[in-house]
Amino acid sequence: MSDLILKNLSKRFGEKEVLSPFTLEVKDRSFLALLGPSGCGKTTLLRIVAGLERPSGGEIWLGSRMLFGQMPHQASGASSSTTVEVPPEDRGLGMVFQSYAVWPHMTVEENVRYPLDIQASRASKRSIDNSSKKPLTLDQRQEACEKALSLVHLLELKDRYPHQLSGGQQQRVALARGLAVEPPILLLDEPLSNLDAKLRSEMRREIREIHRKLNMTILYVTHDQREAFEMATDVVILNAGAIAQKGTPSEILKAPNPGFVTEFLSES
Amino acid sequence: MSVLLEATLRSVQISLITAMVSGLLGVVLAWLVSRTEFTSRKTVASLLSVPYALPPYLLGMAWVVLGNPTVGILRAFLPSNGAYGTLGICFVLSSVAFAFPYLELRAGFDRLDSSLEEAARISGASPVKVFRDISLPLLWPALVNGMCLAFLYALASFGVPAILGLPVRQFVLTTLIYSQLKLGGQAGLIEGFKISLLLLTIAACALGFSHYLTSLKNRLGASISGARSSRPSRIQLGRLAPLVMSVTWLWILLTLVLPWIALTLSALAPIAGSYSPSTFTLRNLSYVLNLADFHEALVNSAVLSVSVASLVVLLGFCLGFLSVRKKKPWASRLIRFFGIPFATPGTVLAFFIIFIFSTLARLGFNADYPLLLMAIAYTLKYAAVGANSLETAYTQIHPSLEEAARISGARTVKLLSTIWAPLLKQSMKAAWLLAFLPLATELTMSVLLTGPGSATLGTVLFQLQEYADQPSAAALAWMLLTLALVIGLMTRKKEIY
């Protein structure tokens, strides 16, 4: 019911075309990996979905809700339209950054509680447009926070500050924070690239587990084939701002497109 | 109320207001240019760093022209005593001192990993909430440092309160020391000593308080300087963009453009207050250019500022090498020590030098060479500028560059001249300018130390202004402000993105 649809989306930085117009449909509750070498535009694509970058053209839809695009006026026909651009804070998504972005001045618990508290205060003000949900009570927020923390096995460390944690633990805090409000889509930007090999394989398993348990859509950016093919239900391979191939992992591995994809997959 | 108590309260009041206003302006402007998008943003960003290079008393003189209660151009818009008095002093000081928190916070925003802020937005926080919950707590030390610098700057300022305060008989501590010394004799010296100690105590308290405020939340220190992710996503201001643009440009107009126009008009006017183009004359300019004092001052200021700036940079170059590369503890201690005269108000520093040399004179050791005293005062005050910036520069260059030269057989002198000097050229240039610009127009210390044959640009200007020769003073001030603006505009920080 809430598929993510990117229609004719494109992005230019000045003269440089970072993403050439493309269309992509991400099915509800799927796990889509955006795979490609550095500079192929995969992170830009993720940031556009998050609302942190403005696309140069095209539309973004989450189910029946337009997140970005030109909305034609109903009264005056197709001749005039207004630009719709939902700011990141109103999209209701979750995101995990490559640098973790765990707030150093808040404890683990405060970090994870932050999106829950904001959602509650906004819901009570009815400022969010799809606020059919009742604001969560303090107890419910506490419960949601603890649920997210136990999903990433950090419940015992909830009173610690980030500088008292290892890199892998900080990564888990970021993940719990992204999950806390159970967003329809979780965006992950190379979340494992700063971890060592052993931790990486552990986290791959856990992220897959979380996807299975929470049943949310995951958009996962990586340059690591192993991550993509091991975890995702769908893989999109990007090259120089264009989609080189998309399909399920087995489809791509069975019949990689000749040229870039074959070459890229044979590396490493 | 005694004059001293009144001056103390006024000094503290002016410094507090200036620190508050500067902090507020610095936060808002730094956030706007670092994190939002509006037309002309880059130009605004780099113009906002220009006031840093301007001698504040020139702006004070411009505001005398604009805000004189009887003939000022803008007198209709100002309170009854125009730009004179506490409010005017606070405004003029803030129009320069806001640059301290502004530049500190700009640097802070640049170091801050912007994904920390982006993570909060994705969590549902509005830009204002992100600023309150994330940016402000993390940049708190930068803000406190900037405001502390603005406070010390206002506390130590002499020219602005002299120009805008003395005509309405409002003393602050620095101008009180000056008037005590002008009375001369032993009594003035003792009175000056007392006030100097008081001023020093207030400065030390301010430093201590800001240290306490930054240490409160210092557990986050290390973690914010991590790698920057991508370039920050800028907040689209939408309908507010035109408003933000006009307000920032109005501020630039008010603090840079308007003062320059005022001094230009005043320099061209035959008498103060007559600003019709038909009567404009170059007489004031040519009068100043032919003034013997001006020639003397030009030579003195040029020689003093060029030689002291070079000395200070050379000192920093050597001390930085000894402290960073040779790990000599005495060298790093000396660099730390330079922070004391730097933080000491110029008036107090000059006063102590006078005090020491007049004591020496009574012991039969006569050293009454004003230019020498000025050189000592300038060097003490600005040694920290060269030493600190070059010490930082040394730590930023990888030691392997030096080690490679050492293995190739280079000894210390060769190492300094062929490796470090070329590598540190940019930092040395920047440090030289940072010392040269304020020294070329130095007033606070010079006005106390000057004597026959040792006029500087600052003291000549101050005398012209004090003897109410406003058109000539405006002509000289116009020349200096134009020069400072040109240098400031040429050397301003370019915006990359």
Q: Between residues 66 and 95 of chain A, which touch chain B (CB distance below 8 Å)? A: 85, 87-95
Q: What are phi and psi of B442, to 5 degrees?
A: -60, 135
Query: Inter-chain contact B118–A52, Cβ cutoff 8 Å?
Result: yes
Q: Which residues in chain A touch residue B122, judged by CB atoms under 8 angstroms apart?
A: 50-52, 88-89, 91, 93-95, 115, 178, 187
Q: Residue B394 is inside which H or E element, if any?
A: helix B370-396
Contact between B88 and B63 under an 8 Å Cβ cutoff? The reply is yes
This prediction's pTM? 0.86
Q: What is the mean pLDDT of residues A141-153?
A: 93
Paired sense of beta strands A185-189 and A217-222, if any: parallel
Q: Which residues in chain A touch residue B229, judged by CB atoms under 8 angstroms apart?
A: 97-99, 101
Question: Which residue of chain B is at minimal alpha-carbon distance from A48?
Answer: B233
Query: Inter-chain contact B236–A101, Cβ cutoff 8 Å?
Result: no
Query: Inter-chain contact A118–B129, Cβ cutoff 8 Å?
Result: yes
Q: What angle do CA B390, B393, B399 make, to 5 degrees?
A: 120
Q: What is the mean pLDDT of residues B41-53?
A: 88
Query: Inter-chain contact A90–B124, Cβ cutoff 8 Å?
Result: yes
Facing residue for A94 by CB, picked from B122, B129, B217: B122
Categorize the per-residue pLDDT at A79 as very low, low, confident or very high, splitting at 50, 70 and 90.
Answer: low
DSSP helix/strand/coil, B234: coil
Query: Inter-chain contact A105–B113, Cβ cutoff 8 Å?
Result: no
| B122-165 pLDDT per residue, tens | 999 999 999 999 999 999 999 999 999 999 999 999 999 999 99
Instruction: State the Cα–Cα distance between residues B183 and B169, nearest whole angstrom.
Output: 16
Residue B52 region by backbone torsions, left for phi larger than 0, else alpha for psi between -120 and 50, else beta: alpha
Could you give the C-alpha distances from B117 to A33, A89, A168, B254, B329, in angstroms and in order?
Answer: 25, 11, 21, 32, 40
Lowest mean pLDDT among B303-312, B425-434, B461-470: B461-470
Lowest mean pLDDT among A171-185, A216-230, B208-222, B243-257: B208-222
Q: What is the mean pLDDT of residues B340-354?
A: 92
Mean pLDDT, all residues of chain B: 88
Residue A76 reports pLDDT greater than 60: no
Query: Inter-chain contact A99–B233, Cβ cutoff 8 Å?
Result: no
**Domains present along chain B, CATH in parentheses:** 1-281+470-497 (1.10.3720.10), 287-466 (1.10.3720.10)
Supply the DSSP symbol for B52.
G
Instruction: State the Cα–Cα distance between residues B51 and A117, nearest whole angstrom.
Output: 42
Residue B254 reports pLDDT greater than 70: yes
Could you give the C-alpha distances from B278 to B268, B269, B270, B284, in angstroms and in order?
Answer: 10, 10, 10, 16
Instruction: State the Cα–Cα distance between residues B462 and B467, nearest whole angstrom.
Output: 9
Spatial neighbors of B195 by CB under 8 A, at least 6 apart, are: B4, B7, B173, B176, B177, B180
Probe site for chain A from B42, B123, B129, B225 (most A CB atoms < 10 A)? B123
| B172-185 pLDDT per residue, tens | 999 999 998 888 77
Sign of CA dihedral B79, B82, B87, B93: positive
Instruction: State the Cα–Cα distance between residues B116 and A103, nearest whole angstrom.
Output: 6
Spatial neighbors of B310 by CB under 8 A, at least 6 apart, are: B432
| A105-140 pLDDT per residue, tens | 899 999 999 999 998 888 877 654 554 567 788 899
Q: Which residues in chain B touch residue A90, judged by CB atoms under 8 angstroms apart?
A: 124
Query: Inter-chain contact B233–A101, Cβ cutoff 8 Å?
Result: no
Between B250 and A81, residue with greater pLDDT:
B250
Q: What is the percent of chain B where pLDDT is above 90?
A: 52
Amino acid at residue number B462: F
Contact between B96 and B139 under an 8 Å Cβ cutoff? The reply is no
Residue B413 reports pLDDT greater than 90: no
Q: What are phi and psi of B282, to 5 degrees?
A: -95, 10
Q: So what's the ipTM on this one?
A: 0.85
